[in-house]
Amino acid sequence: MTDVPRLPVPTWFVGCGNMGQAIVGGWRSAGIDLSSTVVIRPSGLPVIGVRTVTQLADAGAPPRLVVLGFKPQKLDEIAPQLRSWVTGRTTIVSLLAGVEVASLKERFPAAGAIVRAMPNLPVAIRRGVIALYGEDADEKTRVEISNLFAPLGFAPWMADEAKFSAVGAVAGSGPAYVARFIAALIKAGEDRGLSNEIASTIAIETVLGTSWLAATDRDGMDEIARRVASPNGTTEAGLAVLDKGLGALLDETLDASANRGRQLAEAARLS
């Protein structure tokens, strides 16, 4: 049995909406002790198993780990207040899309280490992808952060911030794209006379089953498609249509997402 990692005491989540709660949920189901974790969010809405407060002043002792779980646009509202709680013993893990380490360093110069993490929603069920990137994180901090995110899925450290952004574009946003693909498959089934219940179940099971096959069978996507599509058969006729547009559409999709990331990065630069 592997050891259950311990969160630094105390750990703060500043902002804990969709992604913060996905991480908390994943940690909870991994058996990680959340009793010294505090969520700070203006609504004060409870997060299961974690003490929730509405302002930093009520959070208690200065944090050893702070997860920034608010929207990038909120950085300049929150950083001036949060800055006084950050010491050389604090590691900041930023989930903020686009915002570069250099911009975070300018806001939190006293922080012991600043790490960017780009998770995706399936961390909630511990099947996520979490890209990690840090310039000044020493080996001890890297091991500590790796140990915390590994129970939530695949958590690679990226060598540079550009590759970190690329993982974010594919994996961070990916569940939304895959959800749209599944929705389109469901609609296509419904349009052909299936009930919503049957169309939903077969679309989800088909994507799940194919993903499972792809993860266990290392022959690659072309080979999986080849095994489905017999020459001049029905699947091949369908692929001839799909292949005309899917690659270009995904390129365009990821380019749009990367452009927005650059805008957020630019907006967060102080100088």
Ligand X SMILES: NC(=O)c1ccc[n+]([C@@H]2O[C@H](COP(=O)([O-])OP(=O)(O)OC[C@H]3O[C@@H](n4cnc5c(N)ncnc54)[C@H](OP(=O)(O)O)[C@@H]3O)[C@@H](O)[C@H]2O)c1
Residues forming contacts to ligand X in the complex (CB under 6 A) are 14-20, 40-43, 45, 69-72, 74, 77-78, 95-97, 118-121, 172
Nearer to ligand X, 17 or 194 (CB): 17
Q: Which H or E run includes 14?
A: strand 11-14
Nearer to ligand X, 189 or 261 (CB): 261
Rounded CA-CA distance 223/242 in Å is 17
Q: Quick check: 10 and 37 in contact, CB under 8 A?
A: yes
Pairing status of strand 113-119 against strand 91-94: parallel
Considering only CA atoms, give the Rg of the chain. Answer: 21
Nearer to ligand X, 20 or 25 (CB): 20
Give 153's strand partners.
Answer: 128
Peptide bond into 10 cis (omega under 30): yes
- Taking Cα atoms as reference points, which of 138, 96, 91 lies closest to residue 115? 91
Q: Which is it for the CA torsion 19, 22, 24, 26, positive or negative?
A: negative
Rounded CA-CA distance 171/111 in Å is 28
Q: Dmax over Cα atoms in the chain, in whole Å?
A: 68
CB of 45 to ligand X, least distance (A): 6
Nearer to ligand X, 78 or 224 (CB): 78
Nearer to ligand X, 13 or 189 (CB): 13
Rounded CA-CA distance 118/155 in Å is 9
Nearer to ligand X, 50 or 95 (CB): 95
CB of 156 to ligand X, least distance (A): 15
Q: Is 159 exposed, middle or buried (0-12, 13-18, 19+ CB in 10 A)?
A: exposed
Nearer to ligand X, 155 or 199 (CB): 155
Which residue's beta carbon is nearest to the bound ligand X? 17
Give 117's strand partners.
Answer: 132
